[in-house]
């Protein structure tokens, strides 16, 4: 029965995707569309717009949600005894999909908030699919609360705009920023940036992310990391399109926050033991990379440096697409691992490549792509950002050059750390021999689960080898931000496309060389003796899986280096006796920002609220008394003028 429903859901999603993709493609080709729908007596006529940016986001959303449902319907089959739960889950995927499409298109401020809210709540319910696990519920609530803090910031900003301009259309933001002095519009920008930053997962608003992603089922993690957090980025981009303020300051803000996000995300990702948590921190890192691109582009607009603007936005926007592809694929891979081994603890895994070769390959490819290695798609967007930064280094003045150098360094370090992280993730989980006995015999996941992965992989390699098409298709999106990118004698965009086609060609050449070298090897080896033996153990011939390097030991030298910056909880054991008893050592990574920003403040608030605890004493008489007080207060308040006049006339008598 639930199979029928899942097929039905997939069909509905594909229909919705097809219907919404059509105007999106037209918009991406340059045909901006406006229409007004009558939304009843609450909202009245609700304006919609699909421009190139919305179209771009809609296409990404559609693709990711389709792969999500194709993978998810097979993933959910493992929970076959919970029919009603699954049916609700499937329905909510449709709701979330439509809400995301609305977020991209609605042009009224209150309407946007409603769509945003539907998206937040439906995704919250999607996250807590396994609600009976306490940790998952906690993670889900954490997500719900934090995303509402974000909504709070958005609401304040929107109300401010509506009050000042008297209009509730998106263009009111533009009016607002033209009306007020620069510091005020920057304040508005910061409010909106924080509001959207919560969704996007910029540091320090990221703390919900590493909990929500591991808690959610794999396909939902993929969708959340792939598109929902990107809608935060979409919000920021939309604001940048509307607000007319000092772009240099806004660009600097975005750039600084993004550099910190990128570095902090990957630094923490390395020390994670939970595969999905590791991927979640990588989302923060990639949001940072996207932000570096966008921040650089904004800086370029402010400094009237078209090179910087075009390359920054091109890199950032392309990276939105790229990250949605490889991150969802990585999460699906982690999901397959979880289904078969029932654990996500990296330290307990190992040697999966033997029994799940296809899953391993579909994890290796996005792992390479997320590290930004050629010839995959991650490299193309990072290359664009690098090109922009190196040009910026030359054309900007001293202080901005230093700024750009910092951005280059952080991008390089992010790339290097990502390699450390994914050699760990892939090497420890899939390679070597098993570290512990698995609960059941491992086998490859069915082809129907591999199919969506194949779809995504096609784009990973496609963008890497033939970036021209994809860059050309987003040219209108970049054109929104840099209207004069096509004018002038020096056509930056065209020359960059030329360069990128060369990048693609070199990528192809590289693959060809690998193929040639490998076939030479095969031919040479054919005539020689090739046999299998044990791994060389320095003469030791009884190796076990426990002799292998573990994930913690793999990053040990890194942890030693970075420990002052991070916080790692461990119980240091001191051995005093000659014959020590059995001892247990544990270490777990923790997020320092989370500690100082969230935990400490919550403790403080709890302490303050505890002072009012006596009010909640559980005795019904008291509550009735509170009600009486309240009614009394209202009566007094409503008649305040009367009382004052009575009082004054009474006083005048003396």
Partner 1 sequence: MISLLFIFLGSIFIAGIINRTTANFSGRKGQGIFQPIKDIIKLLKKGSVYSSVSSFVFKIAPSVYFSSVLTAVLFIPFGSSGALLSFDGDFVMFAYILALGKFFMIIASLDTGSSFEGMGASREALYSMLAEPAFFILLGSLGLLTGFSSFYKIFYFIHNAYSASSYISYTIGIMAALIFFALGLIENSRMPIDDPKTHLELTMIHEVMILDNSGFDLGLILYTGCLKFSMYAALAANLFLNPYFPFYLNIVIFIGIQFLYGCFIGSIESFSARFRMNQNPQVIFALSSVTLLVFIAVMILTGKFNY
Cα–Cα separations (whole angstroms), residue 347 to 485, 550, 551, 610: 50, 6, 6, 41
Angstrom distance (rounded) from CA 200 to CA 284: 8
Does 416 interact with partner 1 (rule: CB under 8 A)? yes
Residue 617 CB, nearest distance to partner 1 (Å)?
A: 58
Structure tokens given for 459: 């784009």
For 473-484, letters b (16+ CB in 10 Å) and e give bbbbbbbbbbee
- According to CB under 8 A, which one of 304, 342, 502, 600 is a site residue for partner 1? 502
Does 506 interact with partner 1 (rule: CB under 8 A)? yes
Interaction pattern, residues 392-411, with partner 1; x per rule: CB under 8 A: -xx--xxx-x---x--xx--
Structure tokens given for 619: 């005795």
Angstrom distance (rounded) from CA 515 to CA 274: 35
Residue 383 CB, nearest distance to partner 1 (Å)?
A: 6
**Closest alpha carbon to 455 in 27, 14, 12:** 14
Residue 288 CB, nearest distance to partner 1 (Å)?
A: 16
Nearer to partner 1, 160 or 558 (CB): 558
Nearer to partner 1, 399 or 576 (CB): 399
Nearer to partner 1, 162 or 248 (CB): 248
Nearer to partner 1, 427 or 462 (CB): 427
Angstrom distance (rounded) from CA 79 to CA 171: 47
Residue 227 CB, nearest distance to partner 1 (Å)?
A: 27
Residue 71 and residue 453 in contact, taking contact as beta carbons nearer than 8 Å: yes
Cα–Cα separations (whole angstroms), residue 627 to 478, 610, 612, 620, 624: 58, 21, 17, 11, 5
Helices (H), 224-305: 229-242, 247-270, 275-302
Does 419 interact with partner 1 (rule: CB under 8 A)? yes
Task: Choose one: 6-14, 483-491, 513-521, 566-574; the region binding partner 1 (CB under 8 A).
Answer: 513-521
Interaction residues for partner 1, span 523-552 (CB under 8 A): 524-525, 528-538, 543, 545, 547-549
Task: Choose one: 55-63, 144-152, 189-197, 426-434; the region binding partner 1 (CB under 8 A).
Answer: 426-434
Neighbours of 645 (CB within 10 A): 11
> Residues near 35 by Cβ (< 8 Å), separated by ≥ 6?
47, 48
- According to CB under 8 A, which one of 423, 473, 491, 567 is a site residue for partner 1? 423
Angstrom distance (rounded) from CA 86 to CA 93: 11
**Closest alpha carbon to 115 in 92, 91, 93, 99:** 99
- Geometric angle at alpha carbon 266, from 264 and 272, rounded to 5°: 105
> Residues near 485 by Cβ (< 8 Å), separated by ≥ 6?
306, 309, 310, 478, 479, 492, 493
Task: Choose one: 75-83, 155-163, 229-237, 384-392; the region binding partner 1 (CB under 8 A).
Answer: 384-392
Interaction residues for partner 1, span 428-487 (CB under 8 A): 428, 431-433
- According to CB under 8 A, which one of 141, 339, 364, 597 is a site residue for partner 1? 364
Residue 574 CB, nearest distance to partner 1 (Å)?
A: 22
Nearer to partner 1, 111 or 374 (CB): 374
- According to CB under 8 A, which one of 137, 248, 339, 420 is a site residue for partner 1? 420
- According to CB under 8 A, which one of 315, 415, 464, 589 is a site residue for partner 1? 415
Does 510 interact with partner 1 (rule: CB under 8 A)? yes
Nearer to partner 1, 148 or 358 (CB): 358
Interaction residues for partner 1, span 561-580 (CB under 8 A): 561
């Amino acid at each position: 029965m639930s199979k029928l429903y899942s097929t039905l859901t997939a069909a509905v999603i594909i229909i919705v995707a097809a219907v919404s993709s059509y105007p999106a493609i037209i918009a991406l080709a340059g045909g901006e569309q406006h229409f007004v729908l009558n939304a009843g007596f609450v909202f009245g006529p609700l304006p919609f717009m699909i421009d190139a940016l919305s179209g771009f986001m809609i296409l990404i959303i559609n693709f990711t949600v389709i792969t999500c449902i194709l993978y998810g319907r097979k993933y959910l089959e493992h929970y076959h005894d919970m029919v009603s739960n699954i049916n609700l889950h499937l329905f909510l995927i449709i709701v979330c999909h439509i809400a995301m499409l609305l977020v991209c298109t609605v042009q009224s401020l209150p309407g946007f908030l409603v769509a945003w809210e539907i998206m937040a709540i439906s995704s919250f319910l999607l996250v807590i699919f396994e609600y009976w696990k306490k940790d998952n519920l906690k993670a889900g609530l954490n997500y719900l609360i934090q995303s509402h803090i974000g909504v709070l910031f958005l609401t304040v900003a929107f109300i401010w705009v509506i009050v000042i301009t008297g209009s509730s259309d998106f263009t009111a933001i533009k009016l607002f920023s033209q009306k007020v002095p620069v510091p005020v519009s920057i304040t508005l920008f910061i409010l909106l940036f924080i509001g959207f930053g919560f969704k996007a997962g910029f540091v320090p608003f990221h703390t919900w992310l590493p909990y929500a992603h591991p808690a959610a089922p794999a396909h939902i993690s993929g969708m959340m990391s792939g598109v929902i957090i990107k809608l935060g980025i979409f919000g920021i981009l939309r604001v940048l399109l509307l607000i007319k303020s000092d772009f240099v300051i806004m660009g600097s803000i975005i750039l600084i926050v993004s550099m910190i996000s990128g570095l902090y995300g990957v630094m923490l990702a390395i020390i994670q033991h939970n595969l999905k948590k590791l991927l979640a921190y990588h989302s923060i890192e990639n949001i940072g990379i996207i932000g570096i691109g966008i921040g650089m582009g904004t800086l370029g607009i402010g400094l009237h440096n078209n090179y910087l603007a075009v390359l920054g936005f091109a890199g950032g926007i392309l990276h939105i697409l790229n990250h949605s592809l490889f991150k969802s694929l990585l999460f699906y891979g982690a999901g397959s691992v979880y289904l078969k081994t029932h654990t996500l603890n990296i330290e307990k895994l190992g040697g999966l490549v033997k029994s799940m070769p296809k899953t391993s390959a579909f994890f290796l490819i996005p792992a390479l792509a997320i590290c930004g290695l050629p010839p995959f798609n991650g490299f193309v967007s990072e290359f664009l950002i690098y090109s922009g930064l190196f040009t910026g280094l030359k054309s900007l003045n001293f202080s901005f050059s230093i700024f750009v150098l910092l951005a280059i360094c952080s991008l390089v370090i992010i790339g290097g750390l990502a390699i450390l992280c994914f050699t760990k993730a892939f090497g420890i989980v899939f390679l070597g021999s098993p570290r512990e006995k698995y609960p059941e015999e491992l086998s490859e996941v069915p082809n129907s689960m591999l199919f969506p992965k194949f779809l995504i992989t096609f784009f990973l390699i496609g963008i890497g080898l033939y970036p021209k098409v994809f860059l050309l298709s987003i040219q209108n999106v970049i054109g929104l931000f840099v209207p004069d990118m096509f004018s002038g004698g020096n056509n930056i965009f065209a020359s960059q496309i030329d360069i990128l086609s060369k990048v693609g060609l070199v990528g192809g050449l590289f693959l060809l060389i690998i193929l040639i070298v490998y076939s030479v090897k095969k031919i040479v080896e054919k005539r020689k003796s090739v046999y299998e033996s044990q791994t060389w153990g320095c003469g030791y011939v009884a190796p076990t899986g426990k002799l292998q390097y573990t994930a913690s030991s793999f990053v040990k030298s890194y942890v030693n280096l970075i420990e002052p910056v991070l916080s790692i909880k461990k119980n240091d054991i001191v051995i005093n006796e000659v014959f020590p008893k059995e001892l247990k050592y544990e270490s777990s990574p923790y997020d320092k920002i989370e500690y100082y920003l969230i935990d400490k403040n919550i403790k403080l608030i709890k302490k303050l609220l505890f002072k009012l605890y006596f009010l909640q004493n559980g005795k019904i008489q008291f509550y009735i008394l509170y009600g009486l007080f309240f009614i009394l207060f209202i009566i007094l308040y409503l008649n305040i003028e009367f009382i004052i006049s009575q009082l004054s006339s009474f006083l005048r008598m003396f």
